[in-house]
C-alpha cells in the first residue's frame, strides 16, 4: 500500500528481466539493479518507466560488421499485471489515455516493490499516440518529447491515480523524466488556489526532487526547441508554459537544467564524474554517489556456489564479500573455470568460432560508440601478435550495440570486423551479436580479464567492470569513471596509462594508451596468468573482496537513502 515515505524512482529505461527488452544499456541496467537493492533493503520505492512494447532493437550484424536493427516485440500481457487505474495527458491538443502494467521486484528478505510500466496502446487513443510507448529511444525529436511527457507528467498522474498521495521524493534517473517538475508545480499551484506558478510554488517543489546526471557527453542531455514544446505539450495552457520558459536558453528547453534547478539533491555517478559535473554546471551544487551493481543478479551461479560455502548471508550484506580473501584459491579457480567453459561453449555454439577454455580470454562489451574506443586493442596489430606469441596466447570476445543513429558507433563495429579478418588464423577474436543482459552475465563471469578503454573523462562511471569484479574477473582499464576509485595496481586489477590527460590528446594519446595496454599485457598480466597462477588468483580474490564488497547497489542505495531520500 502507498505510504507517505515512498520514493518514486523515474527512469526512461529499466532492465528487469532477460525476457523484457525494456532497456538499452548501462542506464537501464543500473535502474533495475537499484530497484532490486531497494527491495533487498526494504526501502519503500515505486519505480516508473515506459513499457516499450517493441523494445530497443535486436542487433543483426552482416559478414562485414554492418549493423541492422529489428524490433523486439514482447508481450506485457503475458508477463505483467494490468492495473485498473488510468491517467491522461494532453499532447498536441489530443487527450492521450495511459494505463500501467505492474512488475513485482522481489527482495532477498521477502519485500516486493512495484515497477509501473506506462502504456499508451489503448483503444480510444489516436493511432499515432498508441505507438508512443513502443520504441525505447526510437523515432525523432518529437517522438522523444511525447515519451518524456508520458513518463514525467503521465507518471506523476498515474501514481496519484493509484493512491500515491504523499510521495516523499521523486528521483529522476537522468533528465528524461524532468517534466515531472512541471506537473508537481502545477499540482502545488492548484493546491494553493493560484492560477500561475509563483516563486513560492517553485520553492515548494524543490525539496521533493532528486536528480542523478549520468553523462558528460552533450548528446546525453536532452533538449527541445521551445516552439516544439509549445505545440506538443498542451496540458497546462499558455500562462503555465511560462514556467518552462524559465529553463530555456536561446529558446531551447534543456531537461538537465530543468532537473538541476528544481532538485534539492543532485549527484554524478562517480567521484570524478561529480567533479566534471561541477565544472559543467558551475552554479549548482553537485555531489557524487558512485554506481554499483546488484550482487545477486550479476554473480554467476558457479561463483555464487563457492561464496555460499564460505560467506553467510552475503546477498543481504554485500560488505561481507570482503571475506572472499579467505576462499581457498583452488575452489575459486575451479568455479571460474566452470563459468569460462560455459562462456566458451556458448560463444562457439552461437558464432561457429573455436575458442579454447585454457586460453587467456579478454572480454570487451559495452555500447559501441566512438569515445569507448573498442578498437584501441587493435591499434598496432603487429605489436599485439608479437606479445600473443611471446608472452602467452590470447583470445578476445567482443559485444555491443550501436544506437541506430550513431554512425560513428556503427563504423567502429565494422572496423573491428576488419581487424578480426586480418587476425584470422593467428589470434581469435569473436564479436557476439545482440549484446544484452543474458550475454553480459555470461561474459563478465567467463572471461579472464575485462578490458575498458574509454577516452577520459567521458566515462561517467561504467558498471560492467564492477560486474566482472564481483565474479573475480579483474579489469584492465583506463583510469576513468569508477576505476579511479577501484583500481589498486596488481591488487584489484591494472590501469592503462597514468590517469593524466596531459599526453597531448588526439592521435598521440591513443598511441600512448595503446602502448600502455600492450605493455601491461606483455610484461605483467600474461606472465602472471600463465606462470604465476596463485598470484593471478590473488588478484581475482581481491577483486571480489575489495571491489565486489563496495561497488554494489546495496551500498549505493544506502547512500541515496542517507544523502537524498531521507534528508
Ligand atoms: C552493464 C551493462 C552495460 C553497461 O556497461 P558499461 O561498462 O557501463 O558500459 C551495457 N549493456 C548491458 C547489457 C549491460 O549489462
Instruction: Please name the residue whose Cα sits nearest to atom 10 of ligand 1.
Output: 25
Residue nearest to atom 2 of ligand 1 (CA): 26
193 CB burial (10 A radius; 0-12, 13-18, 19+)? exposed
Distances from the Cα of 216 to the Cαs of 174, 187, 366, 498, in angstroms?
12, 32, 17, 21
Atom of ligand 1 nearest to the CA of 441: 15
Query: What is the per-residue pLDDT for 500?
Result: 67
Q: How far is the CA of 302 from the centre of ligand 1 (A)?
A: 21
Q: Annotate 185-252 with three-state secondary structure.
A: HHHHHHHCCCCCCCHHHHHHHHHHEEEECCCCCHHHCCEEEHHHHHHHECCCHHHHHHHHHCCEECCE
Please report the pLDDT score of residue 567 as a whole number. 83
Put simply, whether the predicted model's pTM sits higher than 0.85 gets the answer yes
Question: In the prediction, which pLDDT does 7 show?
Answer: 98
**Do residues 302 and 443 make contact, with C-beta atoms less than 8 angstroms apart?**
no
The SS3 of residue 416 is helix
From first CA to last CA, the distance across the chain in angstroms is: 23
Residues of the chain with pLDDT under 50: none
CA separation for the pair 483, 477 (Å, rounded)? 7
As given in the structure block, the three cell numbers for residue 281 are: 554546471
Task: Single out the residue of 239, 63, 50, 227 nearest to residue 152, CA to CA.
Answer: 50
The minimum-distance atom of ligand 1 relative to the CA of 400 is 11
Q: In which element (H, E) is residue 378 found?
A: none
HSE at residue 40, side-chain half, CA atoms within 13 A, is: 24
CA separation for the pair 203, 459 (Å, rounded): 33
Query: How far is ligand 1, taken at its centre, from the CA of residue 339, in Å?
Result: 19
Neighbour count for residue 451 (Cβ, 10 Å): 23
The two beta strands, 360-365 and 394-399, are parallel
Give the Å distances, CA to CA, from 441 to 139, 298, 465, 476, 563.
Answer: 29, 6, 12, 19, 31
**Ligand 1 centroid, distance to 115 Cα (angstroms):** 21
525 closest CA partner among 494, 492, 485: 494
pLDDT at res. 218: 72
From the CB of residue 535, how many other CB atoms can be counted at a distance below 10 Å? 14
What distance in angstroms lies between residue 366's CA and the mean position of ligand 1's atoms?
5
List pLDDT tens digits, range 102-124.
Answer: 999 999 999 999 999 999 999 99
What number does the ligand 1 atom closest to the CA of 440 have?
Answer: 15
Burial category of 243 from C-beta neighbours within 10 Å (exposed 0-12, middle 13-18, buried 19 and up): buried
Instruction: Please tell me the predicted confidence (pLDDT) of residue 325.
Output: 98
| Nearest by Cα to 493 from 458, 462, 457, 524 | 524
Protein residue whose Cα sits closest to atom 5 of ligand 1: 464
> From atom 1 of ligand 1, which residue's Cα is the shortest distance away?
464
* Closest ligand 1 atom number to CA of residue 293: 1
**What pairing do the DSSP bridges indicate for beta strands 223-225 and 252-254?**
antiparallel
Q: What is the pLDDT of residue 196?
A: 81
Tell me, what's the pLDDT at 243? 64
Nearest Cα neighbor of 368 from 409, 429, 408 is 409
The span from the CA of 151 to the CA of 210, in Å, is 16
Residues with CB under 6 A from ligand 1: 25-26, 29, 366-367, 435-437, 440, 462-464, 467
Q: For residues 454 and 480, is the Cβ–Cβ distance under 8 A?
A: yes
pLDDT tens for each residue of 430-487: 999 999 999 999 999 999 999 999 999 999 999 999 999 999 999 999 999 999 999 9
Give backbone dihedrals phi and psi of 63, rounded to 5 degrees, phi first. -60, -20
pLDDT value of position 242: 65
Look up residue 318 and give its DSSP letter.
Answer: G
Coil, strand or helix: which one is 401? coil
Amino acid at each position: 500500500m502507498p505510504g507517505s515515505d515512498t520514493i518514486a524512482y523515474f527512469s526512461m529505461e529499466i532492465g528487469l528481466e532477460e525476457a523484457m527488452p525494456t532497456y538499452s544499456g548501462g542506464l537501464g541496467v543500473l535502474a533495475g539493479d537499484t530497484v532490486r537493492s531497494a527491495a533487498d533493503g526494504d526501502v519503500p520505492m515505486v519505480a516508473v518507466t515506459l513499457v516499450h512494447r517493441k523494445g530497443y532493437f535486436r542487433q543483426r550484424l552482416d559478414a562485414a560488421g554492418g549493423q541492422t536493427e529489428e524490433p523486439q516485440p514482447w508481450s506485457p500481457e503475458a508477463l505483467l499485471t494490468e492495473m485498473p487505474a488510468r491517467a491522461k495527458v494532453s499532447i498536441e491538443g489530443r487527450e492521450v489515455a495511459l494505463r500501467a502494467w505492474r512488475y513485482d521486484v522481489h527482495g532477498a528478505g521477502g519485500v516486493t516493490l512495484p515497477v509501473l510500466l506506462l502504456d499508451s496502446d489503448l483503444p480510444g487513443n489516436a493511432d499515432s499516440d498508441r505507438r508512443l510507448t513502443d520504441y525505447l529511444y526510437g523515432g525523432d525529436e518529437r517522438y522523444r518529447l511525447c515519451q518524456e511527457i508520458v513518463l514525467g507528467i503521465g507518471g506523476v498522474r498515474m501514481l496519484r491515480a493509484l493512491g500515491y498521495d504523499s510521495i516523499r521524493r521523486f528521483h529522476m534517473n537522468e533528465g528524461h523524466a524532468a517534466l515531472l517538475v512541471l506537473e508537481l508545480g502545477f499540482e502545488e499551484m492548484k493546491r494553493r488556489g493560484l492560477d500561475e506558478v509563483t516563486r513560492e510554488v517553485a520553492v515548494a517543489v524543490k525539496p521533493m526532487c532528486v536528480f542523478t546526471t549520468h553523462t558528460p557527453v552533450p548528446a546525453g542531455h536532452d533538449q527541445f526547441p521551445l516552439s516544439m514544446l509549445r505545440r506538443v505539450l498542451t496540458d497546462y495552457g499558455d500562462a503555465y508554459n511560462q514556467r518552462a520558459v524559465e529553463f530555456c536558453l536561446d529558446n531551447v528547453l534543456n531537461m538537465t537544467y530543468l532537473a538541476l534547478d528544481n532538485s534539492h539533491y543532485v549527484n554524478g555517478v562517480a567521484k570524478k564524474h561529480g567533479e566534471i559535473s561541477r565544472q559543467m554546471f558551475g552554479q549548482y551544487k553537485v555531489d557524487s554517489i558512485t554506481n554499483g551493481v546488484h550482487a545477486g543478479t550479476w554473480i554467476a551461479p558457479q561463483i555464487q556456489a563457492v561464496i555460499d560455502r564460505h560467506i553467510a548471508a552475503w546477498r543481504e550484506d554485500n560488505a561481507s564479500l570482503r571475506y572472499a580473501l579467505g576462499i581457498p584459491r583452488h575452489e575459486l579457480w575451479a568455479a571460474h573455470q566452470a563459468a569460462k567453459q560455459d562462456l566458451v561453449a556458448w560463444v562457439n555454439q552461437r558464432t561457429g568460432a573455436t575458442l579454447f577454455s585454457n586460453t587467456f580470454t579478454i572480454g570487451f562489451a559495452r555500447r559501441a560508440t566512438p569515445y569507448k574506443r573498442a578498437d584501441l586493442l587493435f591499434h598496432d596489430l603487429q605489436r599485439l601478435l608479437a606479445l600473443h606469441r611471446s608472452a602467452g596466447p590470447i583470445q578476445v570476445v567482443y559485444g555491443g550495440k550501436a544506437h541506430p543513429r550513431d554512425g560513428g558507433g556503427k563504423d567502429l563495429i565494422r572496423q573491428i570486423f576488419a581487424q578480426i579478418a586480418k587476425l584470422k588464423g593467428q589470434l581469435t577474436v569473436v564479436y557476439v551479436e545482440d549484446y544484452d543482459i543474458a550475454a553480459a552475465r555470461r561474459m563478465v563471469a567467463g572471461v579472464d580479464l575485462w578490458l575498458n578503454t574509454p577516452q577520459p573523462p567521458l566515462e561517467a562511471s561504467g558498471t560492467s567492470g564492477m560486474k566482472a569484479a564481483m565474479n573475480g574477473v579483474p579489469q584492465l582499464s583506463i583510469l576513468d569513471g569508477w576505476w579511479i576509485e577501484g583500481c589498486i595496481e596488481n591488487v584489484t586489477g591494472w590501469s592503462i596509462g597514468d590517469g593524466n590527460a596531459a599526453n597531448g590528446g588526439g592521435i598521440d594519446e591513443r598511441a600512448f594508451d595503446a602502448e600502455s595496454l600492450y605493455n601491461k599485457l606483455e610484461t605483467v598480466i600474461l606472465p602472471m596468468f600463465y606462470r604465476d597462477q596463485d598470484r593471478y588468483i590473488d588478484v581475482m580474490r581481491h577483486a571480489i573482496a575489495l571491489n565486489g564488497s563496495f561497488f554494489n547497489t546495496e551500498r549505493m542505495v544506502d547512500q541515496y537513502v542517507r544523502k537524498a531520500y531521507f534528508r
